[in-house]
Amino acid sequence: MKLKPVNDKIVVREINKEEEHITDSGLILPDTANQGKLLEGEVVAAGHGMYSANGTLIPVVVEVGDTILYNKHAQVQEYKLNGEDVIIMSQNEVLSVLYKDD
């Protein structure tokens, strides 16, 4: 199956999924211990954009294949696509697109 997001929605594969961390002394730190951490994801599908009040199309600014940064508290919906966990979010939740230095 494939997903075709509508409007300004994007489908993202998480790259660095949050997990519990065990310190050297054996303390278990839950994923909530680092409240301000940014997460990375790869865009696997993107909608075409939203229409403004006057009918102008405002396109999505990310493309399939882009690596993005978003807040761990972003408004997302989790979904299992072909056995793989993905998230669906608005492009407004994207904080930045990562690019390699040339």
pLDDT tens profile 33-68: 555 678 999 999 999 999 999 999 999 999 999 999
Among the four given CATH numbers 2.30.33.40, 3.40.50.300, 3.40.1160.10, 2.60.120.260, the one describing domain 1-16+37-102: 2.30.33.40
List of residues 6+ apart from 50 with CB closer than 8 A? 7, 8, 57, 58
32 against 7, higher pLDDT = 7
Q: What is the pLDDT of residue 29?
A: 60
Give the 3-state secondary structure of residue 24.
coil
